[in-house]
A and B are shown apart, each in its own frame.
Chain A
Amino acid sequence: MSTSSLPRLQHIIGSGIVAAVGIWVAFVSYTQQPSEAFLFPRLISSVFVVLALWTFAKACLGWTKVGGGISVRQFTNLLPGLIIALIYIFWAAKGLGFYTATTLAFFILLSLYDPAPHHAVRSWLRRILITAIFMVVIYGLFAKLLTVYTPREVFF
């Protein structure tokens, strides 16, 4: 697939998903009961569907002028970070404990995206130090100052 056709396909997929959501919202709004509770959703979903279908049609015809999409390079760059972040949020924070999961996620993300060389011991020590400082600050702010009780689960 050529790189020039990539944004168009992305726009079709993106606006297609938005249009599908719009149709679903309109369908639910017009079919669910009691109808009084869905008066306002009906109003907005009607406009939502029209605008979403208009955007989808423009994307299919290649008339979309705004939004550059995501290049392959950007996608490959963001993918590892996004996966780590999603594992951290949707599983590790609850499964391992908030502070353990945050320490691990912070350190892994820092190591993944830090431009400092990976072979230098000094840069690893710096990453460990930054992670430790961040965790001390976060613990002080949330556990001590704001007294927020976070899930502790397996670890802490």
Chain B
Amino acid sequence: MEFLFYMGDVFTPINFGLLLLGTIGGLILGATPGLSPTMAVALLIPFTFQLDAAQGLILLGAAYTSTVAGGAVSAILLKIPGAPANIATTLDGHTMARKGEGAKALQISFLASAVGGVFGVLLLIFLTPVLAQWALAFGPSHLFWLAILGVTVIGSLDSKSVVKGLLSGCIGLWLATIGFDDIMGAQRFIFHPALGGGINIIAALIGLFAIPQVITMFAKGRHNDGAEVIKVQKHPIGGAIRELLRNKRAMGIGTASGSIIGLIPGVGGQIAGLVAYDQAKKFSPERDKFGTGHSEGVIAAESANNAMVGPSLVPLLTLSIPGSPTAAVLLGGLLIHGIFPGTDLFDNHPDVAWTFINSMLIGQVLMCLFGLYVAGLAAKVAQVPQSVMAAVVLGLAVFGSYSVQSSMGDVYVMATLGVMMYFLERFGFSAAPLVLGLILGPIAEANFIQGSMIANATDGMSAYFLGGGLNLFLIAVVIASIFYSAYMELRSRRYTSKEEIMA
């Protein structure tokens, strides 16, 4: 119950003000199609430089939580999911809005998000210290395999092509080696002076997530989305609470699915929402009503995508392994303050760790309270033309990456990686494994070198890296995730081919 000791820190004027700012800003950003939670958090990082670690994390954590929930506004009122996590919400939420139940859909979506989100953060609170203690037993070989696991799991599960996902991970691992070697001081792959200090993670994150989105908006041309915002009638909040209580099954399925999926690295909110929607439909006696504006669909999807947020941070805070691209961005936010996740975080900076986690708990409640009031404004923001969004995001990306070290080199790196990522994405590569490779690369290399030294002095490389129960378990998980994803890829192709034949 250590977290209760630090609960008061969330309510200091600055911390609470940042929490409010992150929550309201996140709700509005989340409703904006094209601004994903990861990109929003990446663009916010430069604004945390002058804050202390806990304050910076409060802002980033609040933005992460509320962008996921805010995406429901445009999903319901415009039929455009604000983030991939809100795809399942569109199925019933928008139909409800068309039937004149927009306010009800928004209310139950925010209430379900809050319930799922609170459960997810409680899971984070109770699981994290246990796993952090367990992580103490990890040696360099285990940490090396964990870093590789982080890259391969996201590379294989998060990508449409296993080979391209793994290749993206390799590109990220290579990019992480650019610069001066830590041990020998040797120059590695420095083919431009801007790369002398290596690739700055924050600049890279901004480039990899923001610039492809800007170019995608350019590629649409002078295009008017023409999305029509459905007017929202008043609906009593008591009615929405009763609706939620009537649908405890969908709520439970959504929360449980989201929490479990959140714990698995690489499986994002999109999957959580869709799996919860599918399961709620299977177990519902009114399954025929799904897709026709049924509240159970909205409840299951929204509780799942917010329940996923807390558990997705468990691998990050305990093992330093970000389980999702957004968690990777949060890791960047921690590293700029010289704080490393894992036992170091809970032993040496418990105030930072618990204030951050507690703020996420309080943030869920604020997100629910403000969501209902900000929804109208958020829907208006969602109509902002793509031309404005593209120019705004580009400007923020340039200023944000420059402000990291007041270096034009970082801006060049940001732009180069961003343009490269846009073209790679068009050929089926994915940004998430590349980012994970870039972030986990130094962890993998440091532990590989440390492990090699231990191995050379003891049993030899193969015995050290490939022996022992935990090493074998981690290697087995790496291999299993690759084979499982390859199997699913082949299966989905066969399924598509049959569909094509039928068509």
A74-B188 in contact (CB<8A):
no
**Contact B391–A146 (Cβ < 8 Å):** no
Contact with B along A43-60 (1 / 0, CB 8 A): 111011001101100100
User: How many B residues touch A, CB cutoff 8 Å?
Assistant: 65
8 A Cβ contacts from A30-86 to B: 32-34, 36-41, 43-45, 47-48, 51-52, 54-55, 58, 64-70, 73-75, 77-78, 80-82, 85-86
Closest to A76 in B: B221
Q: A150–B223 Cα gap in the complex (Å)?
A: 34
- In the complex, A36 Cα to B448 Cα: how many Å? 12
Greatest chain A CB density within 10 A among B385, B391, B429, B448 is at B391
Contacting pair A41 B217 (CB below 8 A): no
Establish whether residues B426 and A69, one from each chain, have CB atoms under 8 Å apart when the complex forms: yes
CB proximity of B64 to chain A, nearest CB, Å: 20
Which residues of A have CB within 8 Å of B452? 39
Partner of A40, one of B166, B217, B449: B449
From residue B412, how far is it (CB to closest CB) to chain A in Å?
A: 7
* B residues in contact with A109, CB < 8 Å: 387, 390-391, 394
CB distance from A86 to the nearest CB of B (A): 7
Residue of A nearest to B396 (CB): A138
Is the pair B163, A78 in contact by a Cβ cutoff of 8 Å? no
Complex interface bits, B340-361 against A, C-beta within 8 A gives 1, otherwise 0: 0000000000000000000000
Q: Is the CB of B224 within 8 A of A115?
A: yes
**A115 with B395: CB separation less than 8 A:** no
**Chain A interface, number of residues (Cβ within 8 angstroms):** 71
Write out the residue numbers on chain B whose beta carbons fall within 8 Å of the beta carbon of A18. Answer: 167, 171, 424
In the bound complex, do residue A66 and residue B184 qualify as a contact, i.e. CB atoms below 8 Å apart? no
Q: A48-B170, A55-B167 are in contact. Are A66 and B395 (CB under 8 A)?
A: no
A-B contact count (CB 8 A): 191
Whether A146 and B47, one on each chain, are in contact in the complex, defined by CB atoms closer than 8 angstroms, is yes
CB contact list, B414-439 vs A, under 8 A: 415, 419, 423-429
Contact partners of A52 in chain B: CB under 8 A: 167, 170
Distance in angstroms between the alpha carbons of A134 and B183 in the assembled complex: 45
Tell me the nearest residue of chain B to A142, going by C-beta: B399
Please report the C-alpha to C-alpha distance between residue A78 and residue B452 in the assembled complex, in whole angstroms. Answer: 48
Name A's B-contacting residues (CB within 8 A): 10-11, 14-15, 18, 21-22, 25, 28, 32-34, 36-41, 43-45, 47-48, 51-52, 54-55, 58, 64-70, 73-75, 77-78, 80-82, 85-86, 88-90, 93-94, 98, 102, 105-106, 109-110, 112-116, 130, 134, 138, 141-142, 146, 148-151
